[in-house]
A = this chain, B = another copy of it.
């Protein structure tokens, strides 16, 4: 007797991945090909590609050694039958840590401050932070900050995106293709929608966190190596401008800041995208969606460059909400 899993499951292990990628772009060579409907397990490395081995290392030395080669991603996965203008649908089915600990760092120089405005001077914590490396044990459904402080193991994919049409974007940054969004809700049970710009979509992912707060204020999550299990589908001929996702409770539209814009602009843009989604797929009048969101809308932050505007699915009109059905 064989399991269904063994029939459908494909695997892109870290070993078969070979060289990790630090750029998400259209020229990256596919490492795995899948069909719509298939389930894949992907090995992901941590944000330092394993260069942190114990708590005694100096974090600034690790960073110096990495240079621009930080936050590696696995992939790309080529999805057969996809073309520019389609939507890629990724259901996150499992995230298993492959080490017994997560790594939590304080960087030496992530000056955490606010900008100077007329209301007063800028504020900062301190110019030089006391850099630190901390290993946190993962046990059962907890990750231990210290012996008395278990945090919930709430794994999420920090970096996931398709290839842009022309440019090659560092895996440390983010844009309409996805990328380093660091959204805590892109985790188990979430369905993610991504734009497709090139044939095969070219899905890249990595940077998995055991747990992370909103805004990710020290600049990295609780980083783990992992095996991520996802089911991939496509929606033909229907595009999204930016990533979107669904949790059991919410529809969420994502946007990020770009050169000349800030998180505030990303939040505004995410709401515009969300309103268009409610209008296109959920039978809302545009202004009704805008108006109702004023009273029931929520915002979730990823890192300081990424926001999701959210609509509670409880307020979807029942007659209209035939679930989005991906091809497959």
Contacts and interface: CB of A to CB of B under 8 A. Distances in A.
A129 B287 contact: yes
Interface stretch (A46-54, A90-98, A166-174, A320-328): A166-174
Interface stretch (A1-9, A243-251, A291-299): A291-299
A119 B264 contact: no
Q: Which of A112, A175, A315 has the most CB of B within 10 A?
A: A112
A309 B216 CA distance: 12
B304 A268 contact: yes
Interface string A116-148: 111111111111011010100000000001000
A294 B165 contact: no
Given A217-B271, A268-B114, A259 B27 contact: no
Contacts of A287: 106, 129-130, 132
A301 B304 contact: no
A181 B263 CA distance: 18
Nearest to A273: B123
B114 A113 contact: no
A22 interface: yes
Interface residues of A, number: 91
A272 B112 contact: yes
A257 interface: yes
B263 A118 contact: no
Contacts of A172: 118
B213 A293 contact: yes
Contact of A115 (B121, B149, B216, B260): B260
A195 to B, nearest CB: 13
Interface string A249-271: 00000011111111111111101
A224 interface: no
A310 to B, nearest CB: 9
A290 interface: yes
Interface of A: 22-23, 25, 27, 68, 104, 106, 109-127, 129-130, 132, 134, 145, 149, 151, 165-170, 172-176, 211-222, 255-269, 271-272, 275, 286-287, 290-299, 301, 304-305, 309, 315
Given A220-B294, A258-B259, 4 more contacts: A106-B290, A114-B272, A175-B259, A268-B304
21 contacts: A23-B167, A23-B168, A68-B165, A104-B295, A112-B268, A113-B268, A114-B265, A123-B268, A123-B272, A125-B272, A149-B315, A167-B167, A213-B295, A213-B298, A218-B290, A221-B295, A257-B259, A257-B264, A260-B264, A267-B301, A299-B299
